[in-house]
Structure 1
Amino acid sequence: MSGKTGYAEIASHYRKLIADGTLAPGDAMPSMRDVCNEFNVSITTANRAFRQLKSEGLTASKPGVGTVVVEQPRVAATAAARLERIARTGKPYAAKEKSINHTAQLRSITDPILADRLGVDLHDEVVLRTRTFVRDDSPTVFAVSCIHVRALGDVPELLSPEPFDRFWQEIYTARTGKTVTRAPERRSARLAYDYELEALNVNVAPGTPVPVLVLVNTFSDEDGPLEVWEDVYAPGLWQVDSE
């Protein structure tokens, strides 16, 4: 590492290791001396990076041990951050995370905004895949992938509800040679639909308005839009866009 490495870069490095699960809750952080040697920085810079992690609630001091990683029960990563983690580590899930209730089917698209993003006409058939991300047995994100039907010619497994052992677009690229790119992630808020509340185990009286955070990622290849991935966050969660 360059001697010009700043505290923010060091904090980001360990933030990613914590989100990956490489540094799990309860694990001891490296010593200040090790940090200084790895990044070729002063003790002042290393200490500032560690203070930053503590201020974010990612680490804490433990007598007799030093600085350790703490639990993050109310944090969920964005889709973009999850994809970055997969590319970096090959791990599909963060620490104590899994996905459940996978579905896959052909559906007629009725949302004009979604149809426009995917480059199809209203009522065209698309592949719809859903799953719920769970951490410590609590639902965190209800994820919906709306995939252009042309992808079925190369990845027919998309209609199977079974999760892939890697991101399905990697399989698509391997079979077609086409590079898939992702547009900047979009964020908004709206009221949750009943099926989203059910998936997230939010128990409220029928008709109760529940605002939720929604993140949208759009993927394309040389032939146009390929997938629109929408994440709906459980109320009360805060999300991170880097892991």
Structure 2
Amino acid sequence: MPELDRTPPYLQVVQELRRRIVDGELADGDRLPSVRQIAEQWGIAQATAMKALAALRADGLAESVTGVGTVVRSRRTLHRSAADRLDRALRTGKIYPEDEYAVIQAAELAVAPTWVADLLGLEEGAQAIRRHRVTHNADGPVSASTSWFPAEFAESVPALLIAERIPGGTPSAIEAGTGRRAANDATEEASAAFRATPEQASDLGISAGDPVYVGRNIYSDVNGEIIEIGESVAPEGRWRTHR
């Protein structure tokens, strides 16, 4: 039986089932445990179990299907954040769940935008490593993201400059090449809503000017030094979950 702590019981159930959905252990269309099963597995009242399933439905991660029960609905509604992907990479060695894949569209040295240069301590016009990718599932583009890395990684982590997926993701390649391990408790994120630029619209298969969710993240190593800065863009209608 899973152990419960002082967090309200229904939230602990929500957090665990949400984690399984974000990780891809529970895929779109999979049936979630029934109210009775949840009550028995967690040792909670059925009313509490019902509240947990209701919370997942409210988050856009599940829906009730007559004659079936509550099923996962994530393919068109879930936005996996940079923190989600880093956490999965550090725990499992894999960035993407089985139903998603990324296409690397660029891997190059490029002039860093001002906000990236400021974070990396670079002078205006200095270069950094830029990797741009579009993540897809069976329905098409899910998100687009651009990662920036210190230019000195070009020698120690040459895979960053190859427009191909890196097994285990960039955190594992950086650790192997530099010995610097990303710390999942040292990830900062900020987000805002914008209108899609022409480039973002092309990546996501939407129209320029459509609403999009933009998130910026900073990955630091265990010593607090920045090893990656990223920006991700997702179309409207996708929920970003919080652990």
User: Do the structures match in fold with TM over 0.5?
Assistant: yes
Distance 1:147 1:169 in 2: 11
Distance 2:38 2:98 in 1: 23
1:77 and 1:242 in contact (8 A); partners too = no
Q: How large is the Cα RMSD of the aligned pairs?
A: 2.6
1:82 and 1:92 in contact (8 A); partners too = yes
1:77 and 1:240 in contact (8 A); partners too = yes
Distance 1:199 1:54 in 2: 29
Unaligned residue ranges in structure 2 (runs of 5+): none
Unaligned residue ranges in structure 1 (runs of 5+): none
Find the partner of 1:200 among 204, 208, 220: 204
Question: 2:39 matched to 1:23?
Answer: no
Q: Which runs of 4+ in 1 moved over 6 A?
A: none
Deviation by residue 1:188-225 (Cα, 9 ceiling, x = unmatched) = 34444332222222345xxxx45532111112344843
Go from structure 1 to structure 2 and tell me whether the alpha carbon gap of 1:152 and 1:238 turns closer, same or farther (over 3 Å shift). Answer: same
Aligned to 1:34: 37
Aligned to 1:170, the other structure's residue is in SS state: helix
Go from structure 1 to structure 2 and tell me whether the alpha carbon gap of 1:203 and 1:156 turns closer, same or farther (over 3 Å shift). Answer: same
Aligned to 2:212: 212
Deviation by residue 1:146-189 (Cα, 9 ceiling, x = unmatched) = 11012223211111111111122223223433333434201134
- When Rg is computed on C-alpha atoms for both structures, the one with the higher figure is 1
TM-score for the superposition, normalised by structure 2: 0.83
Find the partner of 2:181 among 179, 182, 197: 179
Go from structure 1 to structure 2 and tell me whether the alpha carbon gap of 1:90 and 1:40 turns closer, same or farther (over 3 Å shift). Answer: farther
Go from structure 1 to structure 2 and tell me whether the alpha carbon gap of 1:33 and 1:88 turns closer, same or farther (over 3 Å shift). Answer: farther
1:140 and 1:237 in contact (8 A); partners too = no
Query: How many correspondences in the alignment?
Result: 237
Question: 2:230 matched to 1:229?
Answer: yes
Alpha-carbon distance, 1:6 to partner: 1.0
Aligned to 2:64: 61
TM-score for the superposition, normalised by structure 1: 0.83
2:14 and 2:55 in contact (8 A); partners too = yes
Tell which deviates more after alignment, 1-10 or 163-172: 1-10
Go from structure 1 to structure 2 and tell me whether the alpha carbon gap of 1:37 and 1:184 turns closer, same or farther (over 3 Å shift). Answer: same
Q: Write out aligned runs for 1:134-153 (5 A).
A: 134-153=136-155
Aligned to 1:199, the other structure's residue is in SS state: helix
The percentage of aligned residue pairs carrying the same residue is: 29
Question: 2:91 matched to 1:97?
Answer: no
